Amino acid sequence: MISVTVPGRKPKPALQVVREGNPGKRPVREGVKLPPAELTAPDWNAFFPAARVPAKPRAPRGADDEELKAYQQEVQVWQRVKIAADASTRGRKVAVAEWDRVVPVLTLMAGLHAVDWSTVVDYCVCVARLHCCEYQLSVEGLVTMGQRGPCRNPLTTVATQYRTQLKAYIGELGLSPSARGRLSPPEGGDDGDDDPFD
């Protein structure tokens, strides 16, 4: 701590000098050692349930304006249910494929433990939700009609939020080239016999 005093002025608060690295060469704790575990895939139906889509409402014949408005509202509700059911089916497939793609690599690369299960599941759900957002944006377009005319599709905001969360998971799990450089492989995992590239 350094305090600066100038005659005739109030003393300034002490400045704290912080050095990066380990200048004192003190031993650094390695952290908690956990036993390796083989993670089992979750029941993806809990995250992406299969929904039954009812039959599309039929247009009434010879209907007046009130009946037509009620019919249009029924069709909008049906469309939302259908979009949600399709997204759930698509999301389940993406999450399963992502789990199958990433878990074996992470097990070899960093060694997964039982406490990592939720993080990997959340990562797969995030990938699936982002995929569903991007798919729906491709179908609907980036600009949609709002109450006051053309406006940005609200799914762009949702996709941005999922993308931000995905970056955090990529950093945590070491799923980018720079993040992989910070990971150390599990002990005993560098045998020549188990090299996946042989």
Lowest mean pLDDT among 22-31, 157-166, 170-179, 185-194: 185-194
Better-scored residue on pLDDT, 173 or 125: 125
Smallest CA-to-CA distance from 122 within 130, 133, 111 is with 130
Tell me how many degrees the CA angle 152-90-121 measures, rounded to the nearest 5: 100
pLDDT digits (tens, 9 = 90+) for 133-173: 999 999 989 998 888 888 999 999 999 999 999 999 998 88
Q: Evaluate if residue 111 carries a pLDDT over 70.
A: yes
Please tell me the total count of domains within the chain: 1
Say if residue 34's pLDDT is above 70. no
* Cα end-to-end span (Å), the chain: 56
Q: Is residue 162 part of a domain?
A: yes
Q: Is 3 among the domain residues? A: no
User: Residue 186 domain-assigned?
Assistant: no
Name the average pLDDT for the chain: 81
**Domain-embedded: residue 108:** yes
Q: 185 lies in a domain?
A: no
Are the beta carbons of 85 and 132 closer than 8 angstroms?
Answer: no
Instruction: Identify whether 58 is part of a domain.
Output: no
Q: What is the pLDDT averaged over residues 65-75?
A: 86
Task: Give the model's confidence band at 2: pLDDT under 50 very low, under 70 low, under 90 confident, else very high.
Answer: low
Smallest CA-to-CA distance from 138 within 68, 187, 87, 71 is with 87
Q: Is the pLDDT of residue 45 over 90?
A: yes
Q: Whose CA is closest to 85, among 107, 124, 56, 106?
A: 56
47 in a structural domain: no
Report yes or no: 107 and 40 within 8 Å, Cβ to Cβ. Answer: no
Q: Which domain holds residue 108?
A: 89-175
Contact 90, 130 (CB under 8 A): no
Whole-number pLDDT of residue 146: 81
Residue-wise pLDDT tens digits, 11-22? 655 555 555 556
Residue 51 lies in a domain: no
Q: Say if CB 179 and CB 171 are below 8 A apart.
A: yes
